[in-house]
Amino acid sequence: MSVIALPQELSTVAGAPRSYWRTVAWRLARERATLTAGTLLLLIALSAVLAPWIAPHDPSAGAIRLRLAPVGTPSHLLGTDEQGRDMLSRLLWGGRMTLVAGLTPVVVAFLMGTLLGVIAGYTGGLANTLVMRTMDVFYAFPAVLLAIAISGALGPGLPNTLISLSIVFVPRVVRVAESATVQVKGLEYVAAAKASGASVWQILRYHLLANVLGPVLVFASTQVSLSIILAAGLSFLGLGVTPPAAEWGLMLNTLRQSIYVNAVVPALPGLAIFVTSMAFNLVSDGLRDAMEIRA
Amino acid sequence: MWRYVGRRLVHAIPTLLGASIIVFAMVHLAPGDPISAILPVDASKEQIDDIKKAYGFDKPLPVQYLKWLGRVVQGDLGKSIATRRAVILDVRDSLANSLVLAVSSSVLAFGAGIALGLLAAFRQGRALDKIASAMAVIGVSVPHYWAGIILIIIFSVQLNWLPAMGAASDGGLVAYLRHMILPTIALALIPLGVIARVTRSAALDILNQEFVLALRAKGLAHRRVFGHVVKNAAPQIITVLGLQFGFQLGGSVLVEAVFSWPGTGYLLNLAIFQRDMPVLQGVILVLATFFVLLNLLVDVLQTYIDPRIARH
Amino acid sequence: MSPASLLQTRGLRKHYPLRGGVLRRAQAWVRAVDDVSFDVKPGETLGIVGESGCGKSTLARLILRLVEPDAGGVWFDGEDVLRVLPGRMKRLRRDMQLVFQDPYASLNPRLTIEDAVAFSLLVHGAGRADARDRARALLGRVGLDPHLYGRRYPHELSGGQRQRVNIARALVLDPKLLVLDEPVSALDKSVQAQVLNLLLELKADRELTYVFISHDLNVIEYVSDRVLVMYLGQVVESGTADALAESPKHPYTQALFAAAPSMDPDRRMERPPIAGDPPNPIDPPSGCRFRTRCAFAMPQCADAVPPPVAVGAGHDVACYLYGAATAVTA
């Protein structure tokens, strides 16, 4: 059978054209790891939201005589902590805290960082230099150190934790957003839009934002797991959420001395952090692969 | 190339200055009046006057900053509230311990991370890649303080092979090393994961380029292709190495807290607990300076390996 | 200024600074465009030909005021493009459009092609539905069935198809002047022919005026009425396409024609027509910029840039080989 080379024009497959986001969704659905991780995340989020209704006990009610009951104790499926409080309930309630403390800074950083980065990238010149040099100063600190520095100064408590972690993540998002903006700004379709007489606002809205948000979103999703680990870490040090609130990092800290008595129960909060963090990483990996522009 | 170094040094100065401003501002960010942030509530009038003079709280803020900066540059980081010792002494001692931990942990993370990453890249898509990549994801996702606790549970509590606390400063080298093992592993996990992932991705980028295909088609030995990939992926990998070393130096706080390892992290933790502001400021400033200089070094190293960077 | 011209430029100049050193001061200048003047009559195609680095793309952007010139002027239909107020500039942009070279970077990967074409109309106040209809009609006109291709994304199209989209986008505002910056250079030869023919068809249909930029002499000969030859930011020769093809006067033009691939097997070359490397627009040679590669260079070529001299009807050359006997009329 002879092979006839098709002229270039005919080589495009004629089929139903698909919207970009539908392609992303379709790709996401085919990756097993991503799907599993995503489902897991959904379950974790759901259990956190529904905690007040599904927790079997009051997370702050404990009886000392029941302390450090092992896993599998009837009516305390996951054991009790050092004050006799039910672990399962505390884990469910703790999830709310940890997730809020972990996700909020990233969301804030995503919004503020994109805004700052796009403005800096598109304006260029002095404004750009000012913004980027300021971000560089924050980059001088490793994330953990900066979080501790700011939390150390502000003091413990959830709002302070959110502030300090937001300050940690904003510079990173700004960098990614600025670099993406500068790159897109130089592309010819932006020049074409200018040649058509489009205003700055129109260019930003139709051409720049859509193409910059992609990389920024992928980047932000990779930071969530770090944010969760840091948020719990701050509580672990006594700089985050304060007792008697339930939060996974805090629980890890208070249970630390108990490892000599019962090895499994103290490990549970950390396990929760680990699983959540890993699920976020897998989902963000899948997102990055799905959002790549390929034929 | 030296002009590039000079230029980077010049750029580093405002960054350092900015970092010092942040550290200085910490005291003033704290709720309440700055004096109470530095002195305990029951401080004597004499102590309060001392502090007022040393910090110049009655003067305007910029003047205070400059006075503070002047002292810092000469090595005077103030006195610890809790111990009344010069902060610089405590910092110096603990820095040594932290550096030991950071370096040994880095060796582990870099070695294992790069090995894993290269393994995954060269066996892309096959079982080995999937295993290595899974290990990398686990590394990145694990909270290192929790990993430390788990290590203690397994190796100290259950198996009683390794000690759980401290650094046995008076126990001689072997004891010191034994105490070092678990914290090193705990600290190495996240960087290991990050480095493995970056290495894999950088190596794949190069392997998938057409000219590598051409090299292989010409029958270039595996070892040479390997060498070529490593050489070209090096810049990206080195950048990450630098960043991760910084993470290990600064991020050792949590691991040192778990293992009571007497490093800067431990000092930091103590300072937080005791609200000892001068120590907090001193440690953070020193670590941040280290980090900036480290990044500078990494940049210079990059230029040395790939001269194209300096010519931009 | 002859009122019969649609587009006029006089003395256009654009230099880019190269910054270096610790303080990022300008250390050298890229002389992209230097003292370029020409007229384009309505309905004609002006071809601009030259090697890479000769400033053609910068010139295209200067004409459309996408880049501000350091000196010189541009007049469109009698109006001074450089001094016009923003509001008027926006309306003026409807009349002059640009078709880009790179079919890959010139389309927003996140917009469907009908949205990409409709965008220009939206910018000028058209309603969504109306804009989309007109966009689809134009896509059909350039050979892309809107029902089949309208909702596709750029990465699903071939290079030739993308250029058609570019052309549609440029035409949707009903411009009078189209500047085409190497519109077919990135395409295969067979596809080039199709796109060129489409361009010629559209020009006749809509009574357009073209400024056609290319490094490919064959393409320029095919489409142009008049031709401008550029070297290192300056115009070295200008004239009708026929005049230049028949008797190119400037040594550079002669070399270009000699180097152009030909289908005629009897035309063979033994030696390359030009010696030396392609030039660097940073700090070009003094005087005539071609002198370092010119077989006929004379001492006076290094002194000053040769002024354009008429050697035929509407045929000018900037070269000391042709005496400054006849002055050029503006």
Q: What whole-number distance in Å separates Cα of residue B37 and Cα of residue B56?
A: 15
B-chain CB neighbours of A285 within 8 Å are: 137
Burial of A60 (0-12, 13-18, 19+ CB in 10 A): middle
pLDDT of residue B111: 92
Nearest CA in chain B to A224: B141
Q: What whole-number distance in Å separates Cα of residue A283 and Cα of residue A278?
A: 9
Nearest CA in chain B to A282: B137
**How do strand C209-214 and strand C177-181 relate by DSSP bridges?**
parallel
Q: What whole-number distance in Å separates Cα of residue B151 and Cα of residue A238?
A: 22
C41, C145: one domain? no
Closest CA to C32 of C311, C235, C209, C282: C282
Measure in Å the smallest separation between the Cα of C275 and chain B Cα atoms.
29
The three-point CA angle B302-B304-B306 to 5° equals 65
Closest CA to B201 of C180, A292, A84, A263: A292
CATH 3.40.640.10 fits domain A40-58+76-291: no
Neighbours of chain A (3+ CB pairs under 8 A): B, C
C80, C125: one domain? no
Contact: A141, B288; criterion CB under 8 Å:
yes
Per the domain annotation, does C327 fall within a domain?
Answer: no
C55, C181: one domain? yes
Within a 13 Å sphere around the CA of A94, how many CA atoms are in the beta-carbon half?
32
Q: What is the CA radius of gyration of chain B?
A: 23
End-to-end CA distance of chain C: 7
Contact: A140, B15; criterion CB under 8 Å:
yes
Helix, coil or strand: residue C15: strand
Task: Report whether pLDDT(A127) > 90.
Answer: no
Q: What whole-number distance in Å separates Cα of residue A217 and Cα of residue C254?
A: 55
Residue holding tokens 């709310």? A96
C88, C125: one domain? no
Give me the DSSP letters along C41-75. Answer: -TT-EEEEE--TTSSHHHHHHHHTTSS--SEEEEE
pLDDT band of A293, cuts 50, 70, 90: low
Per the domain annotation, does C1 fall within a domain?
Answer: no
Measure in Å the smallest separation between the Cα of A186 and chain C Cα atoms.
10
Contact: A153, B18; criterion CB under 8 Å:
no
Which of the residue ranges A70-79, A107-116, C13-22 has the most confident prediction, judged by mean pLDDT? A107-116
The crossing angle, in degrees rounded to 10, of helices B277-305 and B222-250 is 160
Measure in Å the smallest separation between the Cα of B224 and chain A Cα atoms.
30
How confident is the model over A215-243, as a mean pLDDT? 88
- Domain coverage including residue C179: 7-95+175-322
A-chain CB neighbours of B30 within 8 Å are: 153-155
Closest CA to B149 of B272, B250, B260: B260
pLDDT digits (tens, 9 = 90+) for B170-190: 667 888 888 888 889 999 999
Q: Which candidate from A187, A202, A210 shows the least CB-CB separation from C123?
A: A202
Q: Does residue A244 have a cis peptide bond before it, meaning omega lies within 30 degrees of 0?
A: yes
pLDDT digits (tens, 9 = 90+) for C243-262: 888 888 888 888 888 877 77
Are B56 and B64 contacting, i.e. CB atoms less than 8 angstroms apart?
yes
Per the domain annotation, does C330 fall within a domain?
Answer: no
Q: Which residues of C touch B (CB under 8 A)?
A: 21-22
Per the domain annotation, does C328 fall within a domain?
Answer: no
pLDDT digits (tens, 9 = 90+) for B64-92: 788 778 888 887 777 777 777 788 888 88
Q: What whole-number distance in Å separates Cα of residue A38 and Cα of residue C224?
A: 60
Which residues make beta-bridge pairs with C295? none
Are B29 and A160 contacting, i.e. CB atoms less than 8 angstroms apart?
no
C305, C219: one domain? yes
Task: Report whether pLDDT(C216) > 50.
Answer: yes
Q: What whole-number distance in Å separates Cα of residue B131 and Cα of residue B146?
A: 23
Nearest CA in chain C to B311: C20
C309, C212: one domain? yes
Contact: B10, C22; criterion CB under 8 Å:
yes
What phi, psi does C47 have (nearest 5°)? Answer: -95, 135
pLDDT digits (tens, 9 = 90+) for C35-46: 899 999 999 999
**How do strand C79-80 and strand C25-40 relate by DSSP bridges?**
unpaired
Annotated domain spans of chain A: 40-58+76-291
How confident is the model over C1-14, as a mean pLDDT? 80
For residue B47, which amino acid is it? Q
Per the domain annotation, does C84 fall within a domain?
Answer: yes
Chain B contacts in chain A segment 124-143 (CB below 8 A): 133-134, 136-143
Contacts of B197 (CB under 8 A, 6+ apart): B117, B133, B136, B137, B140
Contact: B18, A152; criterion CB under 8 Å:
no
Indicate the number of domains in chain C.
Answer: 2
Contact: C157, A196; criterion CB under 8 Å:
no
pLDDT band of A3, cuts 50, 70, 90: very low
C293, C222: one domain? yes
Nearest CA in chain B to C19: B312
Between A164-168, B158-162, B187-191, B207-211, the lowest mean confidence (pLDDT) is in B207-211
pLDDT digits (tens, 9 = 90+) for C111-155: 889 999 999 898 888 888 999 999 999 999 998 988 888 888 888
C90, C116: one domain? no
Measure in Å the smallest separation between the Cα of C67 and chain A Cα atoms.
10
Task: Report whether pLDDT(B151) > 60.
Answer: yes
Q: Mark out the alpha helices in chain C (DSSP H runs).
A: 56-63, 86-95, 113-123, 128-141, 146-149, 159-171, 189-206, 217-223, 241-246, 251-259
Best mutation site among A9, A11, A217, A291 for testing chain C: the one with the most C CBs within 10 Å?
A9
Task: Report whether pLDDT(B258) > 90.
Answer: no
Q: Which candidate from A236, A259, A260 shows the least CB-CB separation from B145?
A: A236
pLDDT of residue A286: 87
Between A129-133, A254-258, C173-177, the lowest mean confidence (pLDDT) is in A254-258
Strand order across the beta sheet in which C7-20 lies = C25-40, C7-20, C71-76, C79-80
B-chain CB neighbours of A252 within 8 Å are: 145-146, 149
Q: Which two tokens stand for residue C146?
A: 């809107």
Q: What whole-number distance in Å separates Cα of residue C326 and Cα of residue C330?
A: 12
A-chain CB neighbours of C98 within 8 Å are: 191-192, 195
C80, C213: one domain? yes
pLDDT of residue A11: 35
CATH of the domain at C254: 3.40.50.300
Report the Cα C254 to chain-centroid distance in Å. Answer: 20
Residue holding tokens 């800074």? A105
Report the Cα C183 to chain-centroid distance in Å. Answer: 9
Contact: A198, C106; criterion CB under 8 Å:
no
DSSP C293: G
Per the domain annotation, does C278 fall within a domain?
Answer: yes
Contact: B30, A142; criterion CB under 8 Å:
no
pLDDT of residue C45: 93
Closest CA to A103 of A145, A54, A154, A158: A158
C39, C185: one domain? yes
Closest CA to B140 of C104, A174, A284, A78: A284
Task: Report whether pLDDT(A231) > 50.
Answer: yes
Q: How much is the mean pLDDT over chain A?
A: 84
Per the domain annotation, does C2 fall within a domain?
Answer: no
Closest CA to A271 of A286, A254, A257, A251: A251
pLDDT of residue B177: 84
Among C106, C139, C174, identify where a domain stops: C174
Task: Report whether pLDDT(A9) > 60.
Answer: no
C158, C142: one domain? yes
Among C174, C205, C240, identify where a domain stops: C174
Cα–Cα distances (Å) from B137 to B125, B140, B236, in that order, read: 16, 5, 19
Q: What whole-number distance in Å separates Cα of residue A149 and Cα of residue C285?
A: 59
C183, C275: one domain? yes
Residue holding tokens 């996700």? A103
How many other CB atoms are found less than 10 A from the CB of residue B60? Answer: 8
Q: Which candidate from A192, A198, A211 shows the least CB-CB separation from C100?
A: A192
Q: Which two tokens stand for residue C303?
A: 């002194």
B-chain CB neighbours of C22 within 8 Å are: 3, 6-7, 10
Q: What whole-number distance in Å separates Cα of residue B112 and Cα of residue B102?
A: 15
